A and B are shown apart, each in its own frame.
Chain A
Amino acid sequence: MKKFFAKAYIWVLLIVMYAPLVFIAIFSFTQSRVLGNWDGFSTKLYENLLTGQMQGNASLIAAVENTLIIALVAAFVSMMLGTVAAIGIHNLKGRKKKAITFLNNVPMINPDIITGVSLFLLFVFLGFAQGYVSVILAHITFCTPYVVLSVMPKLQRMNPNIYEAALDLGATPSQAFWKVLVPELKSGMVSGFILAFTMSLDDFAVTFFTRGTIGLDTLSTYIYTDARKGGLTPELRPLMTLIFLVVLILLIVINLRQARQSKLNVKKY
């Protein structure tokens, strides 16, 4: 009986949580411009989205491209910067380690709007033209801490001597880095990359403040402007549905990977 109530509670919560998403997904399969009107089944919106043929809304495609490019570049740079930083921090001691770990936490504690406003002021102060580059720099700022946090546990588990051994055996530091460190840290780096990528895709506030006035739109700023104008672009419905699916699949893959790794780790020891 208790079990029944517990299960029912979880399912009711899930149904309520997913109702809006399911609602969007259902109405992505009808052609009606107004959400909530059912004009019969149609995959027209998907076709429009995938072929980029939308009535006067080509900027949605541009926004999706911008979002993906920014997320890929920011996640890649964050992964490299964060991995090197994590190795450095791991080898620091005492007060220095505490200080840099604290600084690394600041972007994660700060609400997006503070990160956005403060970086906006930075670019104004430096006279740095705001656009693609400023948005990417801003995204690297809030993504890198997550990479550092994903790589750190791998470093703690790694045998500290193997890198030294590679150097002693005649590897150059860059060979030792690519052939010894990177393979050991790879899984943490990949998790960090995926985290950074989704954080970047997810962002609205920071992009909003650092994109300047050149008309650069990512998906979230596009949605914001679109919703303010009233009436969403109907092609957003299939787009959102696809994004939900991709995120769900990514998360399941990450979780299965982690489950497999923890099993492997158990076997190792």
Chain B
Amino acid sequence: MRKRSNWSIPYLIFLIIFVVLPLILILVYALQDSQGGFTLANITKFFTDKDALSTFAVSIEVALENTILCILIGYPAAWILSRKDYNKSAVTIVLFIMPMWINALMRTLATAQLFTILGMNLGKGTLLFGMVYDYLPFMIYPIYNVLSKMDKSYAEAAVDLGATPWRAFWKVTVPLSMPGVWSGVLMVFMPTVSTFAISEFLTNNKIKLFGTIIQENINSSMWNYGAALSLIMLIIIGISSLMSKDKEQAEGGLI
């Protein structure tokens, strides 16, 4: 018996060294003081650090607003793109997903420059606009994917059975497309909380997000506190991906 399952062993070793061990190290560093002794001080520091707490609250707020705006703007776009009678060209879809493949930093900088030249005040408004601009494709694409693979006859059946098109849309199409919406939420919410650099560029350093304080701590050699903050973020990711686990089906591939 030739065991080709053994071919996964090199990658398994690779994953253990470069994925599992680093995540364990976040936990280890988070629970250590600078001398290497065990401590919970880094965790408690976060809950007593007013700056960090307010940054955290602002990040969650911005991420929520961004996610909701992306759904409100992106869902109709995805729906229109998925309709053969409204959109025949595959190039339109490529145009919508193309920004996903361009460096976010570059796109953000271009937006920030445009804001400055239009004489707009960099602040909360431009931050949200820029974030929606950066993340909209990540919402449109998974929803589009689900909608275009969906069996249209369900909605047609609802209409045949006497539902108004509006009612059929809300009672049939929307519930069936929820897996796509959930993938979109996953791809927008956590990345927004964790961005750094982007929020600074869009607000001229006025508003910091959670990712920025992690970066600042790591860069000023406060590894243990930085690791503790990363651990808190990891816990949130764990919770949010567990919450959406049964709601989201695997939507293979990004292109």
Q: Which residues of A contact B (CB under 8 A)?
A: 3, 6-7, 9-10, 13-14, 16-21, 23-24, 35-36, 81-82, 84-85, 87-89, 91-93, 96, 100, 103-104, 106-107, 109-115, 117-122, 124-125, 137-138, 140-141, 144, 146, 148-150, 153, 163-164, 167, 173, 191, 195, 198, 201-202, 204-205, 208-209, 219-220, 223-224, 227, 232, 240, 243-244, 247-248, 250-252, 254-255, 258-259
14 A-B residue pairings within 8 Å (CB atoms) = A9-B76, A92-B5, A103-B12, A111-B190, A113-B211, A117-B214, A122-B25, A149-B253, A153-B252, A202-B104, A220-B103, A224-B105, A243-B102, A255-B90
Q: In the complex, what's the smallest C-beta–C-beta distance from A135 to chain B, in angstroms?
A: 13
Q: Is there an interface contact between A248 and B113, defined as CB atoms closer than 8 Å?
A: no
Chain B at the A interface: mostly helix, strand, loop or mixed? helix
A92 to B103, CA, bound (A): 36
| In contact, B101 and A232 (Cβ under 8 angstroms) | no
| A111 and B101 in contact, given A117-B227, A122-B22 (Cβ under 8 angstroms) | no
Measured between C-beta atoms, what is the minimum distance from B60 to chain A in Å?
A: 14
Q: Are B87 and A10 in contact (CB under 8 A)?
A: yes
Contact A13/B103 with A81-B11, A91-B5, A258-B255 known, Cβ cut-off 8 Å: no
Bound together, the chains give a CA A84 to CA B77 distance in angstroms of 39
Q: Is the CB of B86 within 8 A of A17?
A: no
With known contacts A103-B15, A240-B110, A9–B94 Cβ distance under 8 A: no
Chain A contacts for B14, CB-based, 8 A: 81, 140-141, 144
Report the 8 A-B pairs with minimum CB-CB distance, sorted nearest first: A88-B8, A88-B7, A85-B11, A118-B22, A20-B110, A111-B194, A36-B117, A91-B5
Q: A14-B96, A191-B255 are in contact. List 18 more A-B contacts (CB 8 A).
A: A10-B80, A17-B96, A35-B117, A84-B11, A85-B10, A87-B7, A88-B11, A111-B191, A113-B230, A113-B233, A114-B194, A122-B17, A140-B18, A141-B14, A195-B254, A244-B102, A248-B94, A251-B94
Which residues on B sit within 8 Å (CB–CB) of A248? 94, 98
A106 and chain B: residue at smallest CB distance: B19
B215 touching A254, Cβ below 8 Å: no
A-B contact count (CB 8 A): 225
Interface positions of B from 222 to 255, Cβ below 8 Å from A: 223, 226-227, 230, 233-234, 237, 241, 252-255
| A122–B21 CA distance with the chains assembled, in angstroms | 7
| B233 adjacent to A111 (CB under 8 Å) | yes
Q: Which of A7, A10, A240 has the most CB of B within 10 A?
A: A10
Which chain A residues border B87 with CB–CB below 8 Å? 10
Please, what's the 1-or-0 string for B1-40, where 1 marks a CB less than 8 Å from any CB in chain A?
0111111111110110111111101100100000000000
- Name which residue of chain A comes closest to B99, CB basis: A17
Query: Is A109 within 8 A of B237, CB to CB?
Result: yes
B211 touches A9 (CB 8 A): no
Nearest Cβ on chain A to B72's Cβ, whole angstroms? 12
On whether the beta carbons of A118 and B255 are closer than 8 Å, the reply is: no
Contact B194 A118 (CB under 8 A): no
Within 8 A of A (CB), among B186-230: 186, 190-191, 193-197, 201, 211, 214-215, 218, 223, 226-227, 230
Which residues of A have CB within 8 Å of B105?
204, 220, 223-224
